[in-house]
Structure 1
Amino acid sequence: MKTVAIVGGGITGITALYELHRLATKNKEAIHIILIEKNEYLGGKIHSEHEGSFIMETGADSIVARHEAVLPLVKALGLEDELVYNETGISYIYTHNQLHPIPKDAVFGIPMSVESLQASTLISEAGKKAALKDLTTPNTTFTKESAIGDFLTYFLGEELVQKQIAPVLSGVYSGDLHELSIASTLPYLIDYKNKYGSIIKGFEANKAQFAKTADKKFISFKHGLDTIARRIESLVPEAVIKKSTTVQHIANCEGKYTLHTSDGELLADELILALPNAQIAKLLPVPALQTSFKKFTTASVITMYVGFDIPDASLPADGTGYIVSHHADVVCNAATWTSRKWKHTSQNGNLLVRLFYKNTNERYDELQQMTEDELAQIGLQDIQQSLHIDAQPQIVRVTKWTNQMPRYDLAHREALQQLEQQMAVYYPHVHLAGCSYYGVGIGACIANGQQTAKHVFKQLFEIEQ
């Protein structure tokens, strides 16, 4: 019987585990599957903590519903009855110590119509006039490998990008827009520009596509996002799952791989490494690979939940949170009004706020050195200043993700192609997977886990799926 070892029990690894199990069952093939995870739980950055009447997500708080890989997996896992969708409401940008609504007909702050542009309270009349250049200026130089910041600024103007688009888009993709490619962020923007002659007109022509999921863009589960990890684990009883276990060394042994772990040794025919890039680099010490691994970059973030014994209705406005722009007196980069956006996270309807402090923050190095109590004081000051709430919290929960957020800069695609070629030479039958390489969203990780599993299954049995 062939053995497949999966190292890493995040969403990519457990999706690969589930897909391999499904393929083996469907094709009546026997595979010995072993999954190794350093934590005492599966899910990686997907982990839900329950305390009092609150549910808090230490990493991702939701999944983008419209990704083609997401809802089919939810259905296959029998989790449809557990689904919850985000509450709709206004998203704000906090600037000059005021909440400004992001116009309704906007995607990542990019207006989908001239009317949406004109409705913005963030942009001056001169800035709106500059953005209209997009309607008449053709694209003659930009490709999907161009920086998205350069592209958007050229056609929509610096003011619209800096005040309305960059705060949203930089937050989603954890980086400077002038260092992120169009291909790794919103590749369809080039198609819109080239086909319709305008980014705005392209969105307007495809408005129905975005409207379908405008109200229900994100999903979670009644008992927390990590429900998906717990369900997958329950559906693969034949697999060997080693939690609280680390891999210390990988050796090529006559076409197979010996894994030296904290729980002993094991031998695998195929190996899937669904780990952060830095951890994979430590396990594969070939000098040529190390040069490639260093080309992948990361970002960091500190997140903080603050829960109160006051009603959610104490919030000063209807909405689901804000993103901080320049010229604001708060320290945080963003805030989600979690109890408003996700009703299931607060059983009693009390206020639960989540704050984000990113490594682009000018005070990040200072924040990184702070204790949880010191960070809590910063968070409470931000909440008091922006939301005018000065109540004492019931709970504060801080999580630091240091160099754990992949950044897809302009060199990412070329670096990945080079690494894939090198892996085929130095480590055949070892498969790289996960958000460091193949997409940062949970939907992308699910699709990557499934694709990796299908590729491995084909190599084992020469069966196309």
Structure 2
Amino acid sequence: MKTIVVIGGGITGLSTMHYIERQLQEQNAAAKLILIEGHHELGGKIRSQQIGEFIMETGADSMVARHPGVLDLVREVQFEHELVYNATGISYIHTNNELHAIPTGSTFGIPMNEESLIASTLLTDEEKQRVLQDATIPNDRFTKESSIGEFLQYFLGEGIVRKQIAPVLAGVYSGDLYELSVASTLPYLVDYKNNYGSIMAGFKAHREQFEKAADKKFISFRQGMSDFIHHIEKSLTQVEFKKGVEVSAIVQENGRYALTLSDGQVIDADIAVLAVPNETVKQLLVNEELTQHFEQFTNGSAITLYAGFNVPDSVLPADGTGFIVSHNSDLLCNASTWTSRKWAHTSNNGNLLVRLFYKDSNPRYEELAAMSDEQLTEIALEDVRLSLNIEDKPTVVNITKWMNKMPRYDLAHRDALIAVEQKMAEHYPNILLAGCSYYGVGIGACIQNGRDTATKIMAKISNNL
């Protein structure tokens, strides 16, 4: 019987185990399955905390409902009854110390039709006319490996990119638009431009699919995202879990791998999956040829702060769910989600819960990162006061610092990944890389990566490695 070890108990590692178990059952096959997680709790960047009346997600707060595989996994582990969908509403951009609604009919700030473009209060008439010139500009230079910032500015103009698109996309992908590729953000935009002559025409041709996805885009769970993690863990009846121990060394021996754990145990594996951050992988696989490529993967940092108030959620602007900060703003945060409005289940008594984000793209980030929790709280409360005119003191504050742990898919990512995959096949043929450092940062991408990894493992088993 083969031994398969997954190192890392985040959503990628758990999804990998789920689909290995599932495929083993379907094929009436057997294998010894072990999952190793350094923390005492599974979940990785999915962490829910309940303090008083509030549920706070200190990591990811939701999953994209339409991403392939997300709802499939929820159904397969029979957890649909706990699903909750986001409340729909208006997202804003805070600029010139005012909130401007991101026009309906746009995606990531990119107008999908003329009505959305005209409705924007962020753009001048000249900037709106510049967007329409896209239809007259041929694409003779851009591919999916090009910079998304350069691509959008070339066709739509600097005004809309700087004022409306960049704040949204940078908020989602945690990076500089000019250092992120089209492929790692919105790959379909190149197809729209090439096939329909303009980005807007491409959106119009795919209008139906975007309208279907316009409402209830995101899902969470009544008791928080961690409840989903716990349920997946319970469903994995064939898996042996080892929590609170780390893998300290991996040695290849006679076609197998000896995994030395921090508690002194040694586990022999036929196949190992490294569903852990790139920095951990680099420490475990000591190989000069690989190290030079591992060093090309980059990470960002962020601080998130929740503040819960003993004031009703109704003090918020009508139908609003949060804002992203653009230029010319006195706010120090990069964005804010009005959590109690967007996710009603997070506030048992209907009181206000807001989440503020401070990312390393912020010019004052180093200063913020060095602050005490008390100083950060004062900064956040001033941001709340300036943006929402709320001067009450919070009843709950929760601060999480993700230091150098947010994968950033810059223009070097794709080439580095191709090189790493080639070297891994050569030096470690039965060790597979997985997770958000390499194959997508969203939970949906991690679930799909887990499914794909399981399929690769089953193919190796069928071919007797």
SS in 1 for 2:213: coil
1:261 aligns with 2:254: no
Q: Distance in 2 between matches of 1:83 and 1:316?
A: 26
In the comparison of the two structures, how many residue pairs are matched? 464
Counterpart residue number, 1:72: 72
Q: CA deviation at 1:72?
A: 1.0
Counterpart residue number, 1:318: 319
Counterpart residue number, 2:31: 31
Counterpart residue number, 1:382: 383
Counterpart residue number, 2:123: 123
Q: CA deviation at 1:461?
A: 2.4
> Residue type of the partner of 1:48?
S
Counterpart residue number, 2:233: 233
> Residue type of the partner of 1:326?
H
Counterpart residue number, 1:429: 430
Q: Distance in 1 between matches of 2:83 and 2:186?
A: 27
> Residue type of the partner of 1:92?
Y
The correspondence of residues 142-153 of structure 1 with structure 2, limited to 5 A, is: 142-153=142-153
Offset from partner CA, 1:30-70 (integer Å, 9 cap, x none) = 11111011111111101111111111001000000111111
Q: Distance in 2 between matches of 1:429 and 1:293?
A: 18
Q: Distance in 2 between matches of 1:25 and 1:228?
A: 22
> Residue type of the partner of 1:136?
T
Structure 1's consecutive aligned runs of 4 or more residues displaced over 4 angstroms after TM superposition are: none
Percent of matched pairs sharing the same residue:
56
Q: CA deviation at 1:316?
A: 3.5
SS in 1 for 2:320: coil
> Residue type of the partner of 1:201?
A
Counterpart residue number, 1:178: 178
Q: Which runs of 5+ in 1 are unaligned?
A: none
The correspondence of residues 44-443 of structure 1 with structure 2, limited to 5 A, is: 44-263=44-263, 264-443=265-444
Q: Distance in 1 between matches of 2:340 and 2:444?
A: 24
Q: Distance in 2 between matches of 1:250 and 1:172?
A: 35
Offset from partner CA, 1:298-327 (integer Å, 9 cap, x none) = 111100110011110111343100000010
> Residue type of the partner of 1:173?
Y
SS in 1 for 2:299: strand
Q: Distance in 2 between matches of 1:370 and 1:278?
A: 25
Q: CA deviation at 1:462?
A: 3.4
Q: Distance in 2 between matches of 1:260 and 1:238?
A: 22
| TM-score scaled by length of structure 2 | 0.98
SS in 2 for 1:144: coil
> Residue type of the partner of 1:43?
G
> Residue type of the partner of 1:87?
A
> Residue type of the partner of 1:318?
D
Counterpart residue number, 2:43: 43
> Residue type of the partner of 1:379?
A
Q: Distance in 2 between matches of 1:363 and 1:38?
A: 33
> Residue type of the partner of 1:381?
E
SS in 2 for 1:282: helix
Q: Distance in 2 between matches of 1:26 and 1:196?
A: 43
| TM-score scaled by length of structure 1 | 0.98
Q: Distance in 2 between matches of 1:228 and 1:251?
A: 34
Q: CA deviation at 1:237?
A: 2.3
SS in 1 for 2:49: strand
Offset from partner CA, 1:162-201 (integer Å, 9 cap, x none) = 0000000011111111111111111100110011100011
SS in 2 for 1:289: helix
Q: Distance in 1 between matches of 2:253 and 2:375?
A: 50
> Residue type of the partner of 1:132?
L
SS in 2 for 1:140: coil
Offset from partner CA, 1:202-252 (integer Å, 9 cap, x none) = 112211111101111000011111222111111112211111111111111
Q: CA deviation at 1:288?
A: 1.1
Q: Distance in 2 between matches of 1:371 and 1:39?
A: 25
Q: Distance in 1 between matches of 2:254 and 2:371?
A: 49
Q: Distance in 1 between matches of 2:451 and 2:347?
A: 33
Q: Distance in 2 between matches of 1:199 and 1:236?
A: 44
> Residue type of the partner of 2:459?
K
> Residue type of the partner of 1:163?
K
SS in 2 for 1:436: coil
Q: Distance in 2 between matches of 1:118 and 1:246?
A: 55
